[in-house]
Amino acid sequence: GENVEQHPSTLSVQEGDSAVIKCTYSDSASNYFPWYKQELGKRPQLIIDIRSNVGEKKDQRIAVTLNKTAKHFSLHITETQPEDSAVYFCACLGGYNKLIFGAGTRLAVHP
Amino acid sequence: DAGVIQSPRHEVTEMGQEVTLRCKPISGHNSLFWYRQTMMRGLELLIYFNNNVPIDDSGMPEDRFSAKMPNASFSTLKIQPSEPRDSAVYFCASSSRTGSLNEQFFGPGTRLTVL
Q: Letter for the amino acid at B69?
A: M
Above 70 in pLDDT, residue A2? Answer: yes
Contact with chain B for residue A29, Cβ under 8 A: no
Which residue in A97, A100, A106 has the most chain B C-beta atoms within 10 A of its own C-beta, making it the best mutation to test that interface? A97
CB pairs under 8 A between A and B: 46
Determine which helix (DSSP H) or strand (DSSP E) holds B56, and give its type and residue range: strand B53-56
- CA B55 to chain A, closest CA, distance in angstroms equals 8
A contacts of B103 (beta carbons < 8 Å): 34, 46, 49
Residue B109: band (very low, low, confident or very high) from pLDDT cuts 50, 70, 90: very high
Question: Of how many residues is chain A composed?
Answer: 111
Q: Peptide bond before B8: cis, by omega within 30 degrees of 0? A: yes
Q: Are A87 and A38 in contact (CB under 8 A)?
A: yes
Q: In whole angstroms, what is the distance from residue B27 CA to residue B2 CA?
A: 9
| Letter string b/e over residues B103-113, b meaning 16 or more CB atoms within 10 A of that residue's CB | ebbbbbbbbbe
Report pLDDT digits (tens) over B61-108: 889 999 999 999 999 999 999 999 999 999 999 998 766 567 899 999
Chain A residue nearest residue B34, CA to CA:
A98
Residues sharing a CB contact under 8 Å with residue A81, sequence separation 6 or more, in sequence order? A15, A109
Residues sharing a CB contact under 8 Å with residue B29, sequence separation 6 or more, in sequence order? B94, B95, B96, B105
The DSSP call for residue A95 is G
Residue B35: band (very low, low, confident or very high) from pLDDT cuts 50, 70, 90: very high
B contacts of A42 (beta carbons < 8 Å): 108
> What confidence score (pLDDT) does residue A98 get?
87
Percent of chain B with pLDDT strictly greater than 90: 83
> What confidence score (pLDDT) does residue B100 get?
58
> What confidence score (pLDDT) does residue A91 get?
95
Report pLDDT digits (tens) over A61-101: 999 999 999 999 999 999 999 999 999 999 999 877 789 99
Q: Is B104 in a helix, a strand, or coil?
A: coil
Q: In whole angstroms, what is the distance from residue B58 CA to residue B16 CA?
A: 23
Chain B residue nearest residue A103, CA to CA:
B42
Chain B residue nearest residue A87, CA to CA:
B42
Q: In whole angstroms, what is the distance from residue B14 CA to residue B35 CA?
A: 22
Report pLDDT digits (tens) over A19-65: 999 999 998 889 999 999 999 999 999 999 999 877 899 999 999 99
Q: In whole angstroms, what is the distance from residue A105 CA to residue A47 CA?
A: 14
Asked whether the CA dihedral A45, A32, A108, B88 is positive or negative, the reply is positive
> What confidence score (pLDDT) does residue B1 get?
66
Contact with chain B for residue A81, Cβ under 8 A: no
Percent of chain A with pLDDT strictly greater than 70: 99
A contacts of B102 (beta carbons < 8 Å): 32, 34, 49, 93, 97, 99
Q: Is A103 in a helix, a strand, or coil?
A: coil
Q: In whole angstroms, what is the distance from residue B30 CA to residue A39 CA?
A: 27
Contact with chain A for residue B42, Cβ under 8 A: yes
Q: How many CA atoms lie within 13 A of B100 on its CB side?
A: 9
Mean pLDDT of chain B: 93
Q: Which of B48, B91, B103 sits opposite A43 (nearest CB)?
A: B91
